[in-house]
Amino acid sequence: MIKNRHSVRAFVFLVLIGLSIAVLGIFVLTAIFPRIEKLIRDNMLRQVTDMLDIAYVLINQHYESYTRGFFDESTAQKMTKEHLGAFLYGLEKLDYFWVLSKEGVLLVHPYLKDYVDRHYLEIEDSLYKNTVERILQAVKENKPYVEYEFYRYDRKQIERKISAIRVFEPWGWIVGTGFYRTTLMTQVKSVENQFKIAVLLFLTLLSVIYFSFLIQYREANREISRILKEITIERDRLKTLIEAMPQPVALFDQTKKLLEYNRAFFELQNYNDEPFTCPIGADNSQQSFEIALKTSSGIRWYRVHCTPVFDKDKNYEGFINIFSDITEQKLQILFWQDKANQDPLTGAANRNVLEQLIDSFPDLGQEFSVIMLDIDGFKQVNDTYGHLVGDQVLLRFAETVKNSLRKDTYFVRYGGDEFLIIAPRSGKETAKNLVGRLRKEFRTPLQIDGGQITISFCAGIASFPEDGEKLRELIDQADRALYKAKSAGINQTGF
């Protein structure tokens, strides 16, 4: 009787295990697979939103160039359109940005150039009209995304597409970029196939264990050894499949202890000195943030998408971090930011940098000096040799000055042939010595286009704190000192 009761209990236990495996399989097929598509879709939407950020930064920089008086508005808009129209991205460099006015005029589109600068109602293309109307309606409803049917790149196929959109209000531009349904489904199928293989192997492994126990549980001692060996082999195979995933993925508990991860994350972890974390929003929603890691191939930027994990009682148990490499987008932003702060002719900083210094007033030490330089007779150089030679003189002058300055010194093209030096931790005597050294650099005539041009300059010096407490006051004082020096003749210094 006792033996029979044990047999019944063992049989019931094995039946329950079988039911559990079946329930697990159904759960995976019905619950997890649909969430894979949503996760990849959300990730791709974040990626196109990141790309839209790049376009918005580019537009804003051109707009600021217009508001600061460097270009008129028409020129700034033209340059912006050219840059956006030529900016293709993605693995095949086919993805693009488009710009539409709030009135429905297409302003930028690299594949529909025959529609550019035309109102959508003037174009006999019902698909295009419907698309524009959906975009305009989405803007009215303040939606960040819009879905529609549209041409693929070569205009030979029509496909479902979703775009992130944003309005640049100063010019009334609707800017957008997105991805096609095929792109989404390709990634979904790739991830699903890998995940299905892993799940099938896992369920197969459980089934082998289950039926082995069901049929031969009386020979447990001998079979356990064989089964454990099989588990090890299958587990290694499963780990190999998981490690083939391209994105770094890691699971942490509530104490930030690493629980599970793939190889991509292990390699990434070697370059991080601080423990990975996860900021949780007030509504316990998924959060994202950026990190920069110094790797063997240089600095790389990642957007970390963090999802908190809770139990059925909504108790916090840990979090999952998924890392997306955004180095290419980040370098694009840094590139355009650098261009916006640099004088295109001389390579010196421009007035944008000077305004930032005035606003932020960095720590320049207990004493520092502002030096204003003006090339003597520069107008005569332009009148005699022409503006091309004049530009060469400006370029050579700026290069010589920059090469004579410390790395912590600010060098700004103030306007025309006037340049500004802000020398940290330098009193008036140090500034005078610096001007003297610069004069020696220009004793030798410049060799330009086969001819020799001798140049000199006048300088105005103002120092903190004796000549002013604020940077703008010191710049004005240096400007007045420069005017005094120029009034005295050439190659003069004013204080």
Q: What is the CATH number of the domain that holds 286?
A: 3.30.450.20
Tens of pLDDT, residue by residue over 402-428, are 999 998 899 999 999 999 999 999 999
For position 292, what pLDDT does the model report? Answer: 81
| Whether residue 299 is found in the same domain as residue 377 | no
Inside any domain, residue 135: no
Inside any domain, residue 293: yes
| Whether residue 268 is found in the same domain as residue 412 | no
Mean pLDDT of 77-97: 90
Give CA 178 to chain center in angstroms: 16
Q: Is the pLDDT of residue 346 over 70?
A: yes
Inside any domain, residue 353: yes
Per-position b or e across 61-93, b if 16+ CB within 10 A of its CB: bbbebbeeebbeeeebbebbbebbbebebeeee
Inside any domain, residue 53: no
Q: Which secondary structure element, helix H or strand E, spans residue 44, and what is its range?
A: helix 33-67
d(CA 430, CA 408): 15
For position 2, what pLDDT does the model report? Answer: 41
Domain extent for 274: 249-327
Higher-pLDDT residue of 428, 259: 428
In whole numbers, what is the pLDDT of the chain averaged over residues?
83
Q: Which secondary structure element, helix H or strand E, spans residue 82, and what is its range?
A: helix 73-86
Angle of helix 73-86 relative to helix 33-67, nearest 10 degrees, comes to: 150
For position 481, what pLDDT does the model report? Answer: 97
Question: Given pLDDT bands bounded at 50, 70 and 90, which one contains residue 319?
Answer: confident
- Interstrand relation of 457-464 and 493-494 (parallel, antiparallel or unpaired): parallel
Mean pLDDT of 307-333: 78
| Whether residue 471 is found in the same domain as residue 345 | yes
d(CA 424, CA 121): 60
| Whether residue 421 is found in the same domain as residue 469 | yes
Based on DSSP, count helices (H) and strands (E) in the chain, helices before strands: 13, 17
Question: Given pLDDT bands bounded at 50, 70 and 90, which one contains residue 474?
Answer: very high
CB neighbour class for 419 (10 Å; exposed up to 12, middle 13-18, buried from 19) = buried
Higher-pLDDT residue of 337, 216: 216
Tens of pLDDT, residue by residue over 235-254, are 566 456 556 667 788 888 88
| Whether residue 449 is found in the same domain as residue 347 | yes
| Whether residue 438 is found in the same domain as residue 304 | no
d(CA 394, CA 417): 7
Last residue of a domain, one of 300, 327, 354: 327
d(CA 433, CA 424): 14
Q: Read off the CATH number of the domain in which 453 is found.
A: 3.30.70.270
**Percent of the chain whose pLDDT exceeds 70:** 75
| Whether residue 296 is found in the same domain as residue 421 | no
Tens of pLDDT, residue by residue over 98-117, are 999 999 999 999 999 999 99
d(CA 196, CA 187): 14
Higher-pLDDT residue of 91, 132: 132
| Whether residue 439 is found in the same domain as residue 468 | yes
Give CA 313 to chain center in angstroms: 38
pTM equals: 0.40
Inside any domain, residue 360: yes
| Whether residue 382 is found in the same domain as residue 267 | no
- Do residues 87 and 108 make contact, with C-beta atoms less than 8 angstroms apart? no
Number of domains the chain contains? 2
- Do residues 320 and 251 make contact, with C-beta atoms less than 8 angstroms apart? yes
Inside any domain, residue 402: yes
Mean pLDDT of 127-132: 95
d(CA 5, CA 484): 111
| Whether residue 280 is found in the same domain as residue 357 | no
For position 333, what pLDDT does the model report? Answer: 57
Tens of pLDDT, residue by residue over 26-81, are 665 565 656 766 777 788 888 889 989 999 999 999 999 999 998 899 999 999 99
Last residue of a domain, one of 273, 299, 327: 327
Inside any domain, residue 420: yes
| Whether residue 429 is found in the same domain as residue 373 | yes
For position 44, what pLDDT does the model report? Answer: 82
Distance in angstroms between the alpha carbons of the first and the last residue of the chain = 112
Mean pLDDT of 299-326: 82
Last residue of a domain, one of 268, 301, 327: 327
Mean pLDDT of 300-308: 83
Question: Given pLDDT bands bounded at 50, 70 and 90, which one contains residue 217?
Answer: low
Inside any domain, residue 128: no
| Whether residue 447 is found in the same domain as residue 479 | yes
Higher-pLDDT residue of 178, 226: 178
